[in-house]
Amino acid sequence: MTESRPTIETVAARAGVGRGTASRVVNGSSQVSPAARAAVLKAIDELGYVPNRAARNLVTRRTDCVALVISEPGERLFTEPYFAGIVRGISSAMAQTQLQLWLSMVQSAAERERTGHFLTREHVDGVMMLSQHAHDPLPAKVRASGLPLVLCGRPLAGPDMVFVDADNATGARQAAQYLLDQGRRRLACVAGPQDMSAGVARLQGFRDVAGDDLVEYGDFSEDSGARAMAALLERDPSLDAVFAASDPMAFGAMRVLKAAGRRIPDDVAVIGFDGSPGGRHSDPPLTSVFQPTEEMGREMTRLLLAQLAGDQPPESQVIVDTHLELRGTT
């Protein structure tokens, strides 16, 4: 005789919780204790429980899928540690639910339009967005559709939205102040793009302490950091410190400084922003402002799950702390 398919009631009984608690875990609600969630997930694994999603979705109008939209090319997603950390944090939090994650990387206007048509309740239950630029129409379009939405990064303009961000300005101020405290006097900045909130805030934090005489701009990539550093050296060969608004840009700046015969840190000190693992192995190891990217990804997921469960998130703006990690470039 064939064994009957396990039900949500069977899962609840095995886990020692009520049916409602088991259902909330399956549906990704944040209103469940860690112990109850672990017991239900263990029971699901032991019983081989598979929700009858087709039937349930007809009733709940849920897809059990959430979208992560990244407005950068794929090569940056897989090579730059910032993106990897965010995605790891989101994935680890999503693993505690029965939801599926749909990933989209958009660059062109055509890709953005296609993605906008897809981001509806027929396809996804909620959306997380990473690396959005000013004038990107997708956040407002998703918000207007009524889909739950969480951004990574403070919006530069527009209506209030739920977001998670690092304390970018404070981190940049700490970096610039440390350079001054170490006796550096000609501070330069390789700033990030000014159509992104992180780029704006990190430049403002630097200027709050060091002024704005020596600034060149990049796009957070290593090559752009190298180009900006070359321009800075041409403008002022006597500069003795550089704050780069991302670790990849700092690596590019270091490459140009070495090629120009500048010793790091003897002649020029360098500070990046990310606290990426690669900075521990650069030559010399990179002093950097650490931002907890995995925590940011987990917080984004937590805020989205609360909305999916019909709960009001306790806060709509989460700012995580940054701190300076001292290594060999200062």
The pLDDT tens digits of the residues spanning 216-235 come to 999 999 999 999 999 999 99
Contact by Cβ (8 Å): 40, 27? no
All structural domains of the chain with their residue ranges:
8-51, 65-165+293-319, 168-290
Q: For the whole model, what pTM was predicted?
A: 0.80
Residue 146 binned pLDDT confidence (cut-offs 50, 70, 90): confident
Q: Using alpha carbons, select from 186, 185, 189 the residue that is nearest to residue 201.
A: 189
Two tokens at 55? 């039937």
**Taking residues 99-127, what's their average pLDDT?**
87
CA atoms of 247 and 329, how far apart (whole Å): 12
DSSP-derived secondary structure letter, 80 = -
> CB atoms < 10 A from the CB of 258, how many?
13
Q: What is the largest CA-CA distance in the chain?
A: 84
CA atoms of 69 and 54, how far apart (whole Å): 25
pLDDT at 53 over 60: no
> CB atoms < 10 A from the CB of 97, how many?
21
CA atoms of 310 and 106, how far apart (whole Å): 29
User: Which pLDDT belongs to residue 81?
Assistant: 85
| Superfamily for domain range 65-165+293-319 | Response regulator (3.40.50.2300)
Two tokens at 202? 């990190």
Residue 2 binned pLDDT confidence (cut-offs 50, 70, 90): very low
- Residue range 8-51, CATH number: 1.10.260.40
CA atoms of 295 and 301, how far apart (whole Å): 10
Decide if 65-165+293-319 and 168-290 have a common fold: yes
| Residues, the chain | 330
> How far out from the chain centre does Cα 298 lie?
9
> What are the strands, taking DSSP E only, across 97-240?
100-105, 126-130, 149-152, 163-166, 187-191, 215-217
User: Which pLDDT belongs to residue 140?
Assistant: 87
Q: Say whether 146 sits in a helix, a strand or coil.
A: coil
Q: Say whether 200 sits in a helix, a strand or coil.
A: helix
> φ, ψ for residue 19 (rounded to 5)?
-60, -40
Residue 314 binned pLDDT confidence (cut-offs 50, 70, 90): low
| Superfamily for domain range 168-290 | Response regulator (3.40.50.2300)
Helix, strand, coil fractions of the chain, as percent rounded to 5: 45, 15, 40
User: Which pLDDT belongs to residue 157?
Assistant: 74
Contact by Cβ (8 Å): 248, 221? yes
CA atoms of 176 and 291, how far apart (whole Å): 16
**Which helix (DSSP H) or strand (DSSP E) does residue 271 occupy?**
strand 269-274
> CB atoms < 10 A from the CB of 301, how many?
29
Q: Using alpha carbons, select from 63, 151, 66, 53 the residue that is nearest to residue 101.
A: 66
